[in-house]
Structure 1
Amino acid sequence: MNLFRSLAVALALSCGLSAMPVMAESSDNAASNDPIYSVQSPPFYKMMGDLLIARPLLIGATVIGTAAFVVSLPFTALGGNVKEAGQALVVDPGKAAFVRCLGCSESGYKQD
């Protein structure tokens, strides 16, 4: 693509995303006191930073962690901590990359 088209696409996406309303915490959800879900309404700049910087880095960390987990699997199997290694190297970065809402600092869904 030439420079003009790239700039036009980036401008259209940023204007379209900034025009979208952000879901605010409703009084019904706050009154339910549901311990499983937490609601955050991050500002636009946090969402854009998360989309353009944090998510690609977290996806890369998930891929690198998966490769490290596969390489270290014989040693972690001998040590008996395969579950902990998988949790730290694959599941935690994957959950931060794919489950967390855009711009939120923590996952909105918590299992006990």
Structure 2
Amino acid sequence: MSDTAPVHVMANFTVHDAETYRIYEKGFFPILKRHRGTFITLDDDSTTFEGSAPPEGRVVLFKFPNAEAATAWYNDPDYQALSEHRRAGTELKFLTMLHPMPGR
């Protein structure tokens, strides 16, 4: 994997306390931008064409220019402090960094 290859981060979670989660949402984008992250989309009602549907809830997709930037975002003390609101207001199913396929 190239250190310069972009990576995507996908999260799936169910919001059970919207007010607490909104605190997280409001602080999320400035920290994402600080680490050169780009928001792509979110979906509260995704469609599965084949196979088992993913866990219910919101799916969020964003990207970083490389794995180093994504890791720095996640480990940022400001993000970790902010993420306590996500942890308190949601049930996280997964938060995954997707690496590009080798040779593509």
Q: Of Structure 1 and Structure 2, which has the larger fraction of its residues in strand?
A: 2
TM-score using structure 2 length: 0.30
